[in-house]
Every structure is written in structure tokens, then in C-alpha cells.
Amino acid sequence: MTSAGPLATLIIGEHSSIAAALTAVLNQLGATLIDHVPNGAAALLLMREKSYQLLISDWAMEPVSGLQLLKFVRAEPELAHVRFIIACPRGDRAAEIAIREAGADGVLVEPSSPESIKRPIFHVLQPDANAGRKHAKARSKNA
């Protein structure tokens, strides 16, 4: 696996155990600039102060859900380039479809093992990883 390097990453979600697992995997990939906030509203505030190349968000949060946060990020020209992974419950096919249609770069299905966490992160770090955003933009232009 290639190294993530100095990849600024924001983990968004209230579960500290999941954040710790994500941080461990990111560290294995070489990422060291990692922040964690408990919800989408806190993420929006922090993104005004700092720049990130990767966002990993939980699906179910209040007051701003992972899907709402993704839609906001994709709608903002200065943030649209940010890679975005959303974690959703195993078996929630409707959530997975909504996440992909909104332009996520990856979906992390929970519960996850360290190896299954690495897959979507590694995928979005590849040079052609902006495919999700391209497909979402093409769908919105054709709608």
C-alpha cells in the first residue's frame, strides 16, 4: 500500500472507538495530520479554520448528518476537491446509494475490521479517486 503522506484528514463522528481505529489505519498509511470532531456542525466550523484533503464521516449524526455535510462540501467550490468517505451501517443499501449519488469518493461499511477500513481509504488516495465526484456532477448536469 502506498503512503498517505502529509494528508490532512478530518474524522467526523461521535464514536471515539471508530475514530481511534480510523486514526490507527491512517497512521499505518503514513498520515499524521488527523483531527476528530463529534458531528457535522463541528466539522463545518473547523473547515473554516483549516484545510483538509480527506474527510471521513459517520452517516448518522445530528444536527448535520454525513450526507448533508457531503452535499455541502460538494456544493462549495473551495471544498469540492476534498476526498470524502462516509461510514454507514452494513446492509443499508439505500444509504450506500444515496452516498454515492451525492458524490462520495468512498463508502465504509460498519462494523469494520482494520483491513476493511484500509480499502476505501486506499482507494480514494489513488490518482483517479475523484470518479465519484465526476459521476455526481454528470448526473446533476443531466438532471
Distance CA 123, CA 129 (A): 7
Q: Half-sphere exposure of 132 toward its Cβ, with a 13 Å CA cutoff?
A: 28
Residue 28 buriedness (CB in 10 A; 0-12 / 13-18 / 19+): middle
Contact in structure between 62 and 38 (CB atoms under 8 Å)? no
Question: Which range scores top for mean pLDDT: 57-61, 107-111, 116-120?
Answer: 57-61
Q: What is the pTM of this model?
A: 0.81
Rounded Cα distance, 34 and 55, in Å: 10
pLDDT reported for residue 141:
46
Closest alpha carbon to 27 in 12, 6, 51, 57:
6
Give the span between the Cα atoms of 80 and 130, in whole angstroms. 10
Section 117-137 average pLDDT? 65
Which sign, positive or negative, has the C-alpha torsion 53, 63, 97, 143? Answer: negative
At the top level of CATH, the class of 9-142 is alpha beta
Percent above pLDDT 70 for the chain: 83
